[in-house]
Amino acid sequence: MSKLILSLDGGGIRGAATTQFLSHVEQQLSEKYQKSVRDCADFYAGTSTGSIIALALATTDMSMAEINNLYSYTNAKKIFAENKGWFEVDGINAPKYEAKGKTSILKDNLGNAKISDVTDGKHVLAITYGIEKRRPYVFKSTKPAYKNLLSYQIADASSAAPTYFPTKELQLPPDKDEHWLIDGGVIANNPTMCAFAEACRLWPTIEKRVVSVGTGSHSRKINGPDSQKWGAIQWMLKGQIIDLLSDEKVVAYQALTITPPGKYIRVNAEMCRQPDLPKAPDDAMDDISKTNIKHLKIMGDFWFEQYGDAVVELLNNSYGGPSLDRIDPATGKPIVYDPNN
């Protein structure tokens, strides 16, 4: 008997690729094994947009197809509603977007679901960061004090990306004191290691399998020589500092190294043109154009072509192949992990 960890990265609208991929996975699981993703996962973990997907899977009865439908142009327009304040330069001296639309859509879809609604024997965690105490908050079903927290509020806080959305206030147990929270992506955009550590505490003697799904890797070059002259504003505008802070590659390497051979698959790719992906999506977390959302869904289709069979088998605990890493853009194929290199 082993336990399956499903870990989902942050990335704003790029979560459309994640949900498209997992929808294909769920359809094949159903056709081949009469199972859903929810039937196979034992531990869900998410950051930012990944927390929305993880909490929907763990604490509601939404199917992957329904979760995938959340990542539509109509919803994106409501979520990424521009901040219209006077004398504000959005993203510079004020958040780029209002929070009302995001909060409303999360509440409408996650409803009154709570952390405690996760199926018995299974668990979920979502990552945020508390700015006043300068510490991460990992909201998890394994902590009794957090079980009555509403899923939509946790997802809202976990996706409050600095410069994009306002900081989120939550009153947390045991004292109901106010806490000001931001996107967990600033410390753990890839939540795999948080989930793995918690799973080891829960099930120390049981083998763990990991399916870790990204939202695409940045491929735009940053001007190295020019960066020597940058201050805060230039690092934010030209250096994409938020994206640098949320890079997921170190965590992916750690997880790949500590999991047993054949028990880990990292689903991800650079957002650039490559074999079988002639039109790559934009790597911005807030490019909500109809064309870009379409390209993100196509990237999810591309991932399923490359990883689908292996992920379905790993979810079903019948996979006999090697561990797989991100897609090599030169070949358009997943990198096969060699523990000797």
Helix or strand or coil: residue 40? helix
Q: Are 129 and 183 in contact (CB under 8 A)?
A: yes
305's tokens: 């072509």
Rounded to 10 deg, the angle between the 151-158 and 100-110 helix axes is 150
- The one-letter code for the residue type at 329 is P
- CA 145 to each of CA 113, 149, 159, 175, 207: distance values in angstroms, whole numbers, following the listed order: 16, 9, 22, 11, 28
H/E stretch holding 77 reads helix 73-79
Q: Are 245 and 183 in contact (CB under 8 A)?
A: no
Q: d(Cα 115, Cα 157) in Å, to the nearest integer?
A: 14
**Phi, psi dihedrals of residue 83, rounded to the nearest 5°:** -75, 125
Q: Which of 232, 230, 282 is nearest to 92 (CA)?
A: 232
Q: Are 251 and 193 in contact (CB under 8 A)?
A: yes
Q: d(Cα 317, Cα 244) in Å, to the nearest integer?
A: 35
Per-residue buried b or exposed e for 217-229, using 16+ beta carbons within 10 Å of the residue's own CB: bbeeeeeeeeeee
Q: d(Cα 56, Cα 51) in Å, to the nearest integer?
A: 8
Helix or strand or coil: residue 56? helix
Residues labelled as active-site residues: 48, 183
Q: d(Cα 112, Cα 28) in Å, to the nearest integer?
A: 30
Q: d(Cα 10, Cα 302) in Å, to the nearest integer?
A: 19
Q: Are 179 and 132 in contact (CB under 8 A)?
A: yes
